[in-house]
Amino acid sequence: MWLAALTVIFVLREDIDAYKESSLGKRRTGFVGDISTGTVAMLDNLSIACGCFGICAFHSDFASFAVIAKTIAKCLRVEQPALLDMCVAPGGFVDVALTKTPGSHIRAMSLPVEQGGHDVKMLDAQVNVEFRDITTLAADMGVTKDDVPLNFPGPYDFLFEKVLGDNEKFDLVFCDGHVLRTHPRAEWREPREATRLTLTQTALGLEHLNNCGTMVILMHKLDSWRSFDLIHQFSKMATVKLYKHYRHHKIRSSFYLVAKNIQVDSAFAKEMVAMWKQRYKIATFGNDEEYAEMHRVTRETALVELEKFGEKYVAMGKKIWKTQADGLENAPFFKKHTKEQGKRRARE
């Protein structure tokens, strides 16, 4: 039963995500079925049952980052690591890392404040933060000037010189960036920005990780196929755990994937980096049909992959779902809604 239920959730969630990312907000082909009012309503009910209310605006408070980082740090145990954080603001993760392992080599990047990025509040002033939009790191992502179509709408500010050295490696990589509403972007970027940001972080993070290193990845919607697929792929080359803070993330769909002992030198890891870079090109330059095909998941594919990893995935996710369910049950807005419903029924 769990297999059939997850198949329905994953296939429908991909359909809806594709719809949301469409610049025209119209029905899309190339996915599993067309989007209809019934499908949307059905997914809403499934989402409510799972406690997943869509994309979260991740908490930007430094203190909450620090609390989460301290908890995650307990299971990392990396001595004096070289650390990469491509979306460092507000800086809680790096600050805790430096507290736990003084003298660590840190490379930190962040979206400039004047472009809508968060203020960096790290307590260690010695950390040199490079202010840049990492989705523009074209050369690092294997993109050349020749890859830009002549009819590309623009404007764009791609960097065609590498920012990360070919031999630059890290022991610990944080991939915790998310799309900011405060970031003004060219119109062509809007529909696919979240995908481009995720692909940039995971591809460059894995490519520049030392063998047996660790990655901490901010994720959303445990009930989505994209989350299932990414976690499944990492499980093939690493030891994976999921983590959701009981207080700071309790009513949101966000959680963390902690992948340890990643076999970076394996052929599979190299294949994943190459695939993510190719998908970045499609997400940046591809047309709607190409982008839809990139995300297409058939029911048959979902069933095969769920047979392989579904039971383990459900076991990993139980604590995540319970944390959110408990948080939502006790959320002030939910209690208020329940109270108002009771009053209406009493009047009727």
- Are 224 and 252 part of one and the same domain? yes
Mean pLDDT lowest for which of 26-40, 93-107, 183-197, 288-302?
26-40
- Are 279 and 149 part of one and the same domain? yes
Q: Would residue 347 count as lying in a domain?
A: no
The pLDDT confidence band at residue 113, using thresholds 50, 70 and 90, is low
Sheet holding 82-85, edge to edge: 129-131, 105-110, 82-85, 170-175, 209-220, 254-262, 239-243
- Are 50 and 169 part of one and the same domain? no
Q: What's the structural domain count of the chain? A: 2
- Are 133 and 277 part of one and the same domain? yes
- Are 121 and 247 part of one and the same domain? yes
* Alpha carbon 201 to chain centroid, angstroms: 9
**DSSP secondary structure letter of residue 114:** G
- Give me the residue label for tokens 């755990």: 241
Q: Would residue 343 count as lying in a domain?
A: no
Describe the crossing of helices 225-235 and 2-21 by its angle, rounded to 10 degrees.
110
Q: Which domain holds residue 38?
A: 2-54+298-338
Tell me the CA distances in angstroms from 107 to 26, 82, 88, one per residue in order: 41, 8, 9
The pLDDT confidence band at residue 313, using thresholds 50, 70 and 90, is very high
- Those residues whose C-beta lies under 8 Å from the C-beta of residue 50, and which sit 6 or more positions away, are 9, 222, 223, 321
Tell me the helices (H) and strands (E) count for the chain, helix number first.
10, 7
pTM of the model: 0.75
Instruction: Output the pLDDT for position 156.
Output: 83
- Are 288 and 310 part of one and the same domain? no
- Give me the residue label for tokens 């989460």: 68
- Are 267 and 308 part of one and the same domain? no
| CATH code at position 210 | 3.40.50.150
Report d(CA 288, CA 21) in Å as an integer. Answer: 10
- Are 177 and 305 part of one and the same domain? no
Percent of the chain clearing pLDDT 70 (strictly above)? 66
Per-residue pLDDT at 42 exceeds 60: no
Q: Would residue 130 count as lying in a domain?
A: yes
- Those residues whose C-beta lies under 8 Å from the C-beta of residue 44, and which sit 6 or more positions away, are none
Residues 271, 110, 231: CA angle, nearest 5 degrees: 35
Q: Would residue 348 count as lying in a domain?
A: no
- Are 160 and 280 part of one and the same domain? yes
Report d(CA 295, CA 98) in Å as an integer. Answer: 38
- Are 49 and 167 part of one and the same domain? no
Report d(CA 263, CA 309) in Å as an integer. Answer: 19
Q: Would residue 344 count as lying in a domain?
A: no
Instruction: Output the pLDDT for position 259.
Output: 97
State both tokens at 190: 């809007």
| Tens of pLDDT, residues 256-302 | 999 999 999 999 999 999 999 999 999 999 999 999 999 999 999 99
- Are 328 and 287 part of one and the same domain? no
Greater pLDDT, 325 or 70: 325
- Are 149 and 259 part of one and the same domain? yes
When the pLDDT of each residue in the chain is averaged and rounded to a whole number, the result is 77
Name the domain boundary from 261, 276, 294: 294
Per-residue pLDDT at 185 exceeds 50: yes
Q: Would residue 81 count as lying in a domain?
A: yes
Q: Would residue 74 count as lying in a domain?
A: yes
Instruction: Output the pLDDT for position 335.
Output: 67
| Tens of pLDDT, residues 205-237 | 999 999 999 999 999 999 999 999 999 999 999
Exposed/middle/buried for 122, CB within 10 Å: 0-12, 13-18, 19+?
A: buried
Report d(CA 240, CA 214) in Å as an integer. Answer: 10
Exposed/middle/buried for 108, CB within 10 Å: 0-12, 13-18, 19+?
A: buried
State both tokens at 65: 């980052």
Q: Would residue 79 count as lying in a domain?
A: yes
- Strands of 36-168, DSSP E: 82-85, 105-110, 129-131
